[in-house]
Chains A and B, each alone.
Chain A
Amino acid sequence: MRLSFAPVYARELRGYFQNPGVYVTLAVFLGVSGLLVYGTVAEFTRFCMSQRLRIQYGMLSMNYTEWVVSNTFGLISFLFLFVIPMLTMRLFAEEKKTGTFELLATCPISDWGLVLGKYFAAMTVVVVFMILSVGFPIILSRLGQTEWKIVASGYAALFMVGLACTAFGTFASTLTENQIIAGVVTFFGLLAFYLMDIFGVGSMNWLSEVLNTLSIRAHMERLIRGRVLTDDLVYFVLFAVGFLFLANYVLESRRWRV
């Protein structure tokens, strides 16, 4: 069976850019990101003002990159939890509802071709969103001393979070023919994965260890602070590959499911 995801990818991508919903999502994403950037800078300024004597006498040193730039990337990655369900919810749900899925699935393309075509299309849109947000680090670099290394690792973190979340959304979209359900499942599922480490606070050691390992935020936190660990990268890749396998499995299950 041909893998060839190119036709599906091309159609899906064009569909995204013909869809007004995507532009609305983009506008809201950039607008809210702007507010978060403003808020972070304002908070940092207020704190520095209140502590100016201690800073002046060298009792406290404030790292602008760490406090503002890294946190901004952390907040934008949190926004992905809202943006990505919007992008992925219709991928399979809509085709299942209108019946076009049946036609697509009887073309000589494997189910993997369908999954990857749609996944890469959604991922491309995520990357476009990331590229369009490049104005924020540029503005931040004018306001204070910015380490570009950290900006780069911040974008790497966004990309990795995007990979994982988009795979999860693609999977959720295969489960139902209802886009809204797919979107809601994606949002709450991602929220749970994102904040997984919180559930572990104050519980037994091994449990909090496990929850920390599963948590998107725990892995992202290191990355946005410039600590690039293989473990964290492997986590995101495994997360994405795992949910893509599940998506493919759900699609294939139609053949034998009773």
Chain B
Amino acid sequence: MIKARSLTKIYGTTTAIAGLTFDLEAGEVLGFLGPNGAGKTTTMRILTCYIQPTEGQAEVAGFDVATQSAEVRRRIGYLPEGVPLYHDMTVRAYLKFMAAAKGYGRALRNEYVQNAMEQTGITNVAGRLIGHLSKGYRQRVGLAQAILGDPKVLILDEPTIGLDPAQVHEIRELIKQMAHKRTVILSTHILPEVSMTCTRVIIINRGRIVAQGTPEKLTSELQSEGMTRVVAKGPINDMRVKLDALPGVTGVYVKSKPDGNVAEFEIKSRRGADVRSAVASAIVGSGWELLELHSEGMTLEEIFLKVIASEKEVQEYAA
């Protein structure tokens, strides 16, 4: 549905993005993750035909953003950063105007506006001035505008920024609903948002893609070592020695203070090695009691920080 090939945008001496290449299949929800100034907005502006790339091509729904921008724009719903709206218009008047601007005929307009308001739950404020609405409602109006006429692609730039936690939750739910039959790109620098709403993640930093994949794939790939937590009952020292000897295990640490015979272990293992079943059979096979066992993945937050930190190191090293 979306194809980007070595997209580059240079503003004077600053390179906003450098050689971004990625593909997005229909129905995927892509999370664009990166610190402020990483190039998320620039990429989105290129995909929505607001600006042109200095180099590289991008296609949306099979149309080139530079040469067939009218076709691309017809297929995109866009919510720019900061949810720009006309505060002196009522919700309904605004949506009607946007439907007209998107080129829908009079006959379709009312229906589209009604559908969009229902989907985003703003029918009850249809007659109010946008300037008088709360931020959460304005965000919904912005989303309603984006889904007018059911575009195939939704591009949302920081859709939850500046909302209170309850509103953030509502908007995420809305985005999830909208994602059912659409291809969505959303940018954010909030990590839980990505693991909650996205099927794919691209982490970008200083205009370059530093990691991409499903949230799970990123977690497993970037994890340098695995970690398994075990709570077991038995002679603590014996257990520790036995676990340490298992293949793939690089270290065993007694985490909490042993309470009688019960102890919690942190078992570190080599990257990619799954030691869970070996640990379980070692404990049970020796006649000890296994109370808890689970492996802990890196959170996206950790991955994000790690990726960005290692980038920094490389750059400092190079300099």
Please report A residues at the B interface, Cβ cutoff 8 Å: 1-2, 4, 6-8, 10-11, 15, 18, 98-109, 254-256, 258
Contact = CB atoms under 8 A, between A and B. Distances in A.
8 contacts: A8-B101, A106-B49, A107-B101, A108-B74, A108-B102, A255-B50, A255-B52, A258-B11
A107 B50 CA distance: 9
A190 B190 CA distance: 49
A108 B52 contact: no
Given A103-B78, A258-B10, A7 B52 contact: no
Contacts of B82: 99
A100 B73 CA distance: 16
B73 A106 contact: yes
Contacts of B54: 258
B80 A102 contact: yes
Contacts of A105: 50
Given A103-B98, A107-B103, 14 more contacts: A1-B70, A2-B103, A4-B103, A6-B100, A7-B100, A99-B80, A99-B82, A100-B86, A102-B80, A108-B70, A108-B73, A108-B102, A109-B103, A254-B50
Nearest to B87: A98
Contact of A106 (B10, B12, B48, B85): B48
Contacts of A4: 103
Nearest to B73: A108
Interface in B91-107: 97-98, 100-103
B84 A98 contact: yes
A15 B50 CA distance: 25
A1 B72 CA distance: 11
Interface residues of B, number: 32
Contacts of A103: 78, 80, 84, 98, 145
B88 A11 contact: no
Contact of A7 (B69, B73, B86, B97): B97
B51 A255 contact: yes
Interface in B66-81: 69-70, 73-74, 76, 78, 80-81
A98 B94 CA distance: 15
Nearest to B82: A99
Nearest to B51: A255
Contacts of B102: 107-108
Interface string B40-73: 0000010011111010000000000000011001
Contacts of A8: 101
B101 A104 contact: yes
Interface of B: 10-12, 45, 48-52, 54, 69-70, 73-74, 76, 78, 80-82, 84-89, 97-98, 100-103, 145
Given A2-B103, A8-B101, A15-B88, A107 B80 contact: no
A11 B86 CA distance: 10
A98 B45 CA distance: 16
Contacts of B100: 6-7, 10
Contacts of A104: 101
A250 B239 CA distance: 74
A108 B50 contact: no
The 3 closest A-B pairs by CB, nearest first: A99-B84, A7-B100, A108-B73
A252 to B, nearest CB: 10
Nearest to A6: B100
Interface-centre pick from A1, A2, A99, A107 (highest chain B CB count, 10 A): A107
A106 B69 CA distance: 9
A221 B259 CA distance: 102
Nearest to B72: A108
Contacts of B80: 99, 102-103, 106
B98 A102 contact: no
A1 B70 CA distance: 5
A103 B79 CA distance: 7
A22 to B, nearest CB: 13
Nearest to A2: B103
Interface-centre pick from B73, B81, B88, B101 (highest chain A CB count, 10 A): B101
A99 B88 CA distance: 15
A4 B10 CA distance: 32
A205 B101 CA distance: 51
A102 B79 CA distance: 9
Contacts of B85: 100
A203 B75 CA distance: 60
Nearest to A117: B101
A11 B11 CA distance: 33
A16 to B, nearest CB: 11
A176 B86 CA distance: 19
A134 to B, nearest CB: 30
Contact of B51 (A1, A98, A101, A254): A254
Contact of B101 (A18, A98, A109, A255): A109
Interface-centre pick from A4, A7, A10, A98 (highest chain B CB count, 10 A): A7
